[in-house]
Copies of this chain bind each other. A is one copy, B any other.
């Protein structure tokens, strides 16, 4: 078989653009000899749809375009599209075989994830029937994403206990001698640093192929959509032959895989490549968010510190240096190095740069409030006035020039609310809000190493982190050292470990309790934080759902 893989990047709701991409890919693949082509989950509508499924017009438009594609496609294609459940008012997440101008088969996704960043049962009904089609004398089974994430050894926390799982069905077919020649899975697998190891030797896809006794063609979505990153890396896996052919990660790739001519386990050993994949995911997410909403330029405050330096470098990689503007906004207490490091960064990146003092705005705010504040000591109120003056000036420049402000906070500081709402949290996208501080350091070193020169100034990497909202302030005055801090946060946030469980693992009780208390106390700040890409198991905006008005310390 010659299977066409069309790993393409869709825009949510941009049916015409997506349909055109589908047809262009189909033409390329037929010209390269493909027998048929497969596309990722969500390719026509974009993903995630969320409550767009509740608007009838949306589903109707998708179906209209599907009919049009069926007429125009030059080869048989298996493509994903939402469809109406005519038995009631619901919607299915469906896959269609389009061949000879017609819809030849429909499959409705069975297993709808409701965990992590996903809640598909809110918007889709579960399918009941299985689907095996015939193409070029081969029997091909069709599944969608989660349908194959239910191997006997993969825990599913009580989900899907009531239905026959697709893999069981195809495994049973094989046992009965009626097995398929190929299992197709249209996928939109959400990237995270824990979730992208499926293709490696001995990984999940190989196990699926072994379990159903057939090769697997896994076509995965590529692109950033709001918080979600889809990493691509589609592949053909035949466990019985030790065979794996992989497509590119983090970019579109439209290629024919000849199943008679595949090498053994190509490129699978380094499937999750640590900081390199994290870096590529962040760049893709930022590029797609900005381009898909049609913004020409981004801007950000450059403090001379690590977070803003890394965000600026990622933005230049995503958008090019001509679309990124840096603004240094020193106060009276800003150190000399915070200014010189910001200048050095902007020069290293070659971006437009401005330096604007916040001193006058801070002075006038303090003078305005002086009668009301008379007799009270200086405290966090004055610290936050500085941060909010920066937010005010940055947003004014954003409004005047139409540039979107990037928020530079990281996952560690956001965990405990070590940030100023309406100050440094201002912005339309937060590129590293799901990256722990220890990983921000790794990104800075990776960026410099890849460039073969200093992009992030070495002094920015070496100096102790500081918010510089009062003289000689250091992050470690208020927080544990970042290695310890991040280790606790990964357990408490990403793995839902309670304080007592973390203490049992050998951490100091007082430190863990203080961190957990601050995490609970910052829940309200996170409800107002800009969105940014999910790259860990539990991102705040998509995965962590904790009430605000609670008795703290109980989880």
Instruction: List residues of chain A with CB under 8 Å of any chain B CB.
Output: 11-15, 17, 46, 48-52, 54-58, 61, 85, 87-90, 114-115, 119, 121-122, 125, 155-158, 162-163, 225-226, 288-289, 292-293, 354, 356-358, 360-361, 363-365, 367-369, 372-373, 376, 379-382, 384-385, 388-389, 391-393, 395-397, 399-400, 421-422, 426, 428, 496-501, 524, 527-531, 541, 544-552, 554-555
Known: A48-B547, A392-B392. 11 other contacts (CB 8 A): A12-B550, A50-B546, A55-B496, A88-B158, A90-B158, A119-B122, A293-B548, A373-B400, A385-B396, A395-B422, A528-B530
Q: Which residues of chain B are near A121, meaning CB under 8 Å?
A: 114, 121
Give the Cβ gap from A352 to chain B, nearest Cβ, in Å: 11
Of the A-B pairs whose beta carbons lie under 8 Å apart in the complex, a sample of 12, sorted by A's number, is A12-B547, A13-B552, A15-B554, A49-B547, A51-B496, A55-B498, A89-B157, A119-B119, A122-B545, A125-B157, A289-B549, A356-B372
The residues of B that contact A162 with a CB separation of less than 8 Å are 162-163
User: Across the interface, do A392 and B373 meet the contact criterion of CB distance under 8 Å?
Assistant: no
Query: In the complex, which of the residues A87, A382, A400 has the most CB atoms of chain B within 10 Å of its own CB atom?
Result: A400
B226, A549: Cβ atoms under 8 Å? yes
Report B-chain residues with C-beta under 8 Å of the C-beta of A356: 368-369, 372
- The listed residue with most B CB atoms (<10 A of its CB), out of A61, A393, A545, A554, is A554
| A380 nearest in chain B by CB position | B399
The answer to whether B551 and A12 have CB atoms under 8 Å apart is: yes
Question: Provided the pairs A364-B360, A391-B422 are in contact, do residues A399 and B384 lie with their beta carbons within 8 angstroms?
Answer: yes
Pairs of residues from A and B, 8 with the lowest C-beta to C-beta distance, nearest first: A57-B498, A55-B555, A14-B551, A381-B399, A13-B554, A90-B158, A364-B364, A13-B551
Neighbouring B residues of A46 by C-beta, 8 Å: 550
Contact B399 A372 (CB under 8 A): no
Tell me which residues across on chain B come within 8 A of A50, comparing CB atoms. Answer: 545-547
B422 contacts A392, CB within 8 Å?
Answer: yes
* One of B225, B499, B548 near A531 (C-beta < 8 A): B548
Q: How far is the CA of A158 from the CA of B84 in the complex (A)?
A: 12
Which of chain B's residues has its CB closest to A367's CB? B360
**Which residues of chain B are within 8 angstroms of A52 by Cβ–Cβ distance?**
546-547, 550, 554-555
Task: Known contacts A57-B501, A361-B364, A384-B396; decide if A549 and B389 are in contact (CB<8 Å).
Answer: no
Cross-chain contact B13 with A225 (CB below 8 angstroms): no
- B392 and A379 form a contact (CB under 8 A): no
Cross-chain contact A369 with B388 (CB below 8 angstroms): no
Inter-chain contact A115/B122, CB cutoff 8 Å: yes
Q: A89-B158, A395-B384, A548-B226 are in contact. Are A529 and B528 (CB under 8 A)?
A: yes
Interchain nearest-CB distance for A525 vs B (Å): 10
B57, B87, B422: the one contacting A426 at CB < 8 Å is B422
From A58, A125, A527, name the one whose CB has the most chain B CB atoms within 10 angstroms: A527
Who on chain B is nearest to A544 by CB? B51
Name the distance in Å between A61's Cβ and chain B's nearest Cβ. Answer: 6
Contacts of A549 in B (CB 8 A): 11-12, 225-226, 288-289, 292-293
Q: A52-B555, A58-B555, A87-B158 are in contact. Are A397 and B380 (CB under 8 A)?
A: no
Q: Which residues of B contact A546 (CB under 8 A)?
A: 50-52
A122-B119, A396-B384 known; A368-B360 Cβ under 8 A: yes
Q: Which residues of B contact A379 (CB under 8 A)?
A: 399-400
Shortest C-beta distance, A17 to chain B (Å), equals: 8
A528 to chain B, nearest CB (A): 5
Chain B positions within 8 Å of A554 at CB level: 13-15, 52, 55, 57-58, 61
Residue of B nearest to A358 (CB): B368
CB <8 Å contact, A376 and B357 = no
* Residue among A381, A384, A389, A551 with most chain B CB within 10 A: A551
Contact check, A501 vs B396: say whether CB atoms are below 8 A apart.
no
Contact indicator B391/A388 (Cβ below 8 Å) = yes
In angstroms, Cα B527 to Cα A50, docked, is 14
- Contact of A114 with B125 in the complex, beta carbons under 8 Å: no
Q: How many Å from the CB of A125 to the closest CB on chain B?
A: 4
Closest Cβ of chain B: how far from A549's Cβ, in Å? 4
